[in-house]
A = this chain, B = another copy of it.
Amino acid sequence: MDFRFTEEQISFRDSLKKLCEETCKTSSIRSLWNSLERLDQARWSKLIDLGVVGSLIEKDEGGLGLTDIDLVLMAEESGYYALPEPLWEVALSGSILKYIPNNNEENWKARLANGDFFILTCHEINKFTPNADLADAFFLQDGDGLYFATKEEAKIIERDGLDPSQPIFEIKWKPKKSKRLMHRSESVEVWQEILNRGALFTSAQLLGLTQKVLDLSVDYVKSREQFGRAIGSFQAVKHLLANIQVKLEFARPVVYKAAYSLASNSSGRYRDVSYAKIVSSQVSKLASKTAIQSHGAIGYTWESDLQIFMKRIWFLDVMWGSSVWHLKRLEKEILSPSSEIGPGGTFV
């Protein structure tokens, strides 16, 4: 029983932190909003060098063969910086390569692993696919299996999204039998695994975002003065922020445990991932609300960086299953009289 991350995992996280600190300032995020560029190429190259996009691909397929536990802290960190690039979405697509037979002509597997080729997974849990315009190809599910489609074979329709850093798209596409990668009998579980992993990465990002809006709020209320004193010295403000601290502290181990459950293919992984998504959605939404209340009018402006993180929270809140969807997924298990949950059942 050891509920700690390894030094390697922490240093892997720290290298992403350093990269974000240097290259993903809010000014850089904002500059993309007004640019025709859809990616910060310099940052993206560095991210690829870090290995994340191929991290979940097996070593013999050209990836790093890492697990969710190795990545969860990084996903959290990328949330803290509201990294706009679809790092996790691409990594996610890599995670199912091992299930895909080696019989496709494009030889995209290796290119995916080294970041030359973007595949996004259009899961039906997500009505919209963010950043679909950046993809070279898609994984898609149809009634009879899991499919591959190049960007030319799919029609992507842009919608207006709340988060300016995450353009969203609807994908229209007609399955071609020749592009079927897996029959339904095999793909159902893979498709569920993708959902779980998507929800886990989303949860981790939400943790980081929560920490960020909390930090921004703390900084603001320390410096903003009214009635001759920093507003952070007023108990009403203190207690609002203290509540977020409490909830965030209790959310983290839930998300980390979900990463473990997924990596170890535990039978409780569905429940654990759902709980991670619920708790991270809840704390992040409450933190947004608290942050804007702590900032007052300034937090309501386009100019304030707070919006960058709040909008990402609201956006991720509905990705890979809303907290309501996940609540419904686990409620039967929780309310079962024979549920393992309870004293002694935490890790079984």
Stretch at the interface among A74-82, A232-240, A262-270: A232-240
Q: Contact string, A226-264, partner B, CB cutoff 8 A, digits 1/0?
A: 000000001110010000000000000000000000000
- Tell me which residues from 1 to 27 in chain A have a Cβ below 8 Å from any Cβ of chain B: none
A302 CB to closest chain B CB (Å) equals 31
A232 CB to closest chain B CB (Å) equals 12
CA A75 – CA B20 in complex, angstroms?
Answer: 65
CA A200 – CA B234 in complex, angstroms?
Answer: 41
Query: Within 8 Å CB of A234, what residues of B?
Result: 235
Number of interface residues of A (CB under 8 A): 4
Query: Within 8 Å CB of A235, what residues of B?
Result: 234-236
CA A239 – CA B235 in complex, angstroms?
Answer: 10
Find the B residue at minimum CB distance from A237.
Answer: B235
A243 CB to closest chain B CB (Å) equals 12
Query: Within 8 Å CB of A236, what residues of B?
Result: 235-236, 239
Query: Within 8 Å CB of A239, what residues of B?
Result: 236
- Tell me which residues from 305 to 326 in chain A have a Cβ below 8 Å from any Cβ of chain B: none
Find the B residue at minimum CB distance from A239.
Answer: B236
A17 CB to closest chain B CB (Å) equals 35
CA A236 – CA B233 in complex, angstroms?
Answer: 12
A335 CB to closest chain B CB (Å) equals 17
CA A235 – CA B235 in complex, angstroms?
Answer: 6
CA A234 – CA B235 in complex, angstroms?
Answer: 7
- Tell me which residues from 202 to 238 in chain A have a Cβ below 8 Å from any Cβ of chain B: 234-236
CA A235 – CA B239 in complex, angstroms?
Answer: 10
CA A236 – CA B239 in complex, angstroms?
Answer: 8
A213 CB to closest chain B CB (Å) equals 22
CA A239 – CA B234 in complex, angstroms?
Answer: 12
CA A236 – CA B242 in complex, angstroms?
Answer: 12
A231 CB to closest chain B CB (Å) equals 11
A236 CB to closest chain B CB (Å) equals 5
Find the B residue at minimum CB distance from A235.
Answer: B235
Q: Contact string, A156-173, partner B, CB cutoff 8 A, digits 1/0?
A: 000000000000000000
A293 CB to closest chain B CB (Å) equals 13
CA A234 – CA B234 in complex, angstroms?
Answer: 9
Find the B residue at minimum CB distance from A236.
Answer: B235
A246 CB to closest chain B CB (Å) equals 15
A residues contacting B by CB (< 8 A) are 234-236, 239
- CB pairs A–B below 8 angstroms (5 shown): A234-B235, A235-B235, A235-B236, A236-B236, A236-B239
Shortest beta-carbon contacts, A-B, top 5? A235-B235, A235-B236, A236-B239, A234-B235, A236-B236
